[in-house]
């Protein structure tokens, strides 16, 4: 059985769905602080699986005890975390407590119940301001915000837990995760939403805020930031491969998850106009604090060691995000 922490959130829900569809038994653990109970219900309905959902908090060791003591957990995929960079700068304590202390409790439970495999959602934010592009895994890790630092600390803790207690980890450093389930069954549902693609798409609906484009004076081909948008389904396939790698006795390791190619904010905006068939209003704003000009992943290591092959395009991601956003706007909110 696989424990999916944060399985009611954006990335965790896609992972739980994919695991169940591939025949894994799953237990989802989430405190619903940013995830949604409705997402769990949707996955149950789609798959016909009555998997266990634990409304639990990683900061409560009793919740973890209850989860581990009554189940045969073979491995953990750990998504549960706060992930907003700007919020982490304003309230670092929230990030250190939740992300670091929560993960420490999880690792302690793994020790206690002899579970020795974990796939962890890390981030490109652990690299900080890039000193070279594309960024490979040997790039220095100097995070410039508490969010990135919290994830880096966890990566270091995981190395020590392997050395001392034999817990094997795969840390997946995500670049910009984009899109939704291609069938539109689950998707990105943040409140407030800070990410580029959902914000552009949301602005096409009635009574929505005009899309704000942050910074048009960067040293890039059109003046806007370059990011490496990795499709959520490709991202999840890497998690399943990482799990299988650990199941096959793989050693602790870390991998970038990106496409090795970047797109500017203006390019993403233009593709959103193409996919939606709408002319989208845009308001140009100053740079958003802490945004590096470019972030592009070198994904060679994940291709070679995990045998991972991302194959979805940015347009695929925008199409699926739009399918989901329409559903969210037109149906979900009113029904829930």
Q: Does 288 bind ligand UFG (CB under 6 A)?
A: yes
Please give the Cα distance from 120 to 37 (Å, whole number). 22
With CB under 6 A as the contact rule, the residue among 13, 99, 123, 317 that binds ligand UFG is 123
Question: What sections of the chain are H helices per DSSP?
Answer: 10-21, 37-47, 61-69, 85-90, 92-95, 102-112, 146-165, 196-202, 232-247, 265-276, 300-301, 314-327, 333-335
Which residue lies nearer to ligand UFG by CB, 212 or 331? 212
Q: Does 272 bind ligand UFG (CB under 6 A)?
A: no
Q: Does 225 bind ligand UFG (CB under 6 A)?
A: yes
- Contact indicator for 198, 188 with CB cutoff of 8 Å: yes
**Selected range binding ligand UFG among 6-14, 61-69, 123-131, 164-172, rule: CB under 6 A:** 123-131
Which residue lies nearer to ligand UFG by CB, 196 or 243? 196
**Selected range binding ligand UFG among 61-69, 104-112, 194-202, 317-325, rule: CB under 6 A:** 194-202
Q: Does 321 bind ligand UFG (CB under 6 A)?
A: no
Please give the Cα distance from 21 to 1 (Å, whole number). 14
Which residue lies nearer to ligand UFG by CB, 209 or 244? 209
Q: Does 141 bind ligand UFG (CB under 6 A)?
A: no
Query: Taking CB under 6 A as the rule, which mask of x and - marks residues 152-191 in contact with ligand UFG?
Result: ------------------------x---------------
CB neighbours of 227 closer than 8 A, spacing ≥ 6?
A: 175, 176, 196, 262, 263, 265, 268, 294, 295, 296
Which residue lies nearer to ligand UFG by CB, 63 or 234? 234
With CB under 6 A as the contact rule, the residue among 19, 54, 265, 275 that binds ligand UFG is 265
Total residues contacting ligand UFG (rule CB under 6 A)? 21
- 254: number of Cβ within 10 Å: 19
Shortest Cβ distance from residue 50 to ligand UFG (Å)? 32
Shortest Cβ distance from residue 227 to ligand UFG (Å)? 5
Shortest Cβ distance from residue 81 to ligand UFG (Å)? 10
Active-site pick, 24, 127, 147, 229? 147
Which residue lies nearer to ligand UFG by CB, 124 or 323? 124
Distances (CA, A) of 325 to 8, 39, 230, 330: 17, 14, 18, 8
CB neighbours of 222 closer than 8 A, spacing ≥ 6?
A: 216, 264, 266, 267
Q: Which residue pairs from 9-12 have beta carbons closer than 8 angstroms and sit at least 24 positions apart in sequence?
A: 9/34, 9/35, 9/39, 9/79, 9/80, 10/177, 10/187, 10/188, 10/189, 10/190, 10/232, 11/79, 11/121, 11/174, 11/177, 11/232, 11/235, 11/236, 12/77, 12/79, 12/80
Q: Does 297 bind ligand UFG (CB under 6 A)?
A: no
Q: Does 291 bind ligand UFG (CB under 6 A)?
A: yes
Q: Is 96 a catalytic residue?
A: no
Distances (CA, A) of 323 to 41, 212, 316: 19, 22, 11
Q: Does 214 bind ligand UFG (CB under 6 A)?
A: yes
With CB under 6 A as the contact rule, the residue among 81, 124, 235, 246 that binds ligand UFG is 124
Q: Does 194 bind ligand UFG (CB under 6 A)?
A: yes
Q: Which residues bind ligand UFG (CB under 6 A)?
A: 83, 85, 123-125, 147, 176, 194-196, 199, 212-215, 225, 227, 265, 288, 291, 295
Provide the annotated active-site residues.
Answer: 147
């Amino acid at each position: 059985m696989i424990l999916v922490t944060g399985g009611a959130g954006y990335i965790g829900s896609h992972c739980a769905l994919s695991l169940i569809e591939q025949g894994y038994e799953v237990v989802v653990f989430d405190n619903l602080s940013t995830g949604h109970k409705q997402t769990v219900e949707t996955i149950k309905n789609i798959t016909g699986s009555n998997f266990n959902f634990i409304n639990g908090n990683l900061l409560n060791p009793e919740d973890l005890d209850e989860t581990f003591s009554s189940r045969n957990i073979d491995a953990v995929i750990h998504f549960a975390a706060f992930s907003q960079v700007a919020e982490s700068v304003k309230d670092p304590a929230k990030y250190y407590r939740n992300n670091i202390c929560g993960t420490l409790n999880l690792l302690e439970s793994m020790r206690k119940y002899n579970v020795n495999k974990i796939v962890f959602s890390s981030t490109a934010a652990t690299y900080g301001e890039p000193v070279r592009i594309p960024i490979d895994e040997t790039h220095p890790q100097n995070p410039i915000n508490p969010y990135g630092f919290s994830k880096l600390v966890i990566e270091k803790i995981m190395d020590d837990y392997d050395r001392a207690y034999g817990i094997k980890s795969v840390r997946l450093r995500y670049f910009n995760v984009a899109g939704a389930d291609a069938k539109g069954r689950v998707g990105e549902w943040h409140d407030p939403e800070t990410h580029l693609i959902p914000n552009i798409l949301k602005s096409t609906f009635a009574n929505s805020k005009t899309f704000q484009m942050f910074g048009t004076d960067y040293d890039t081909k059109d003046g806007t930031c370059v990011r490496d948008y990795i499709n959520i389904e490709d991202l999840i396939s890497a998690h399943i491969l990482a799990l299988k790698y650990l199941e096959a006795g793989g050693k602790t390791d870390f991998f970038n998850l990106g496409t090795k190619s970047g797109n500017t904010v203006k390019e993403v905006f233009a593709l959103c106009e193409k996919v939606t068939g709408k002319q989208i209003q845009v308001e140009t704003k100053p740079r958003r604090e802490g945004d590096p000009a470019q972030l592009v992943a070198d994904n060679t290591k994940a291709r070679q060691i995990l045998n991972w092959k991302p194959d979805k395009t940015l347009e695929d991601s925008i199409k699926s995000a739009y399918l989901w956003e329409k559903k969210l706007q037109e149906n979900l909110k009113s029904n829930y």
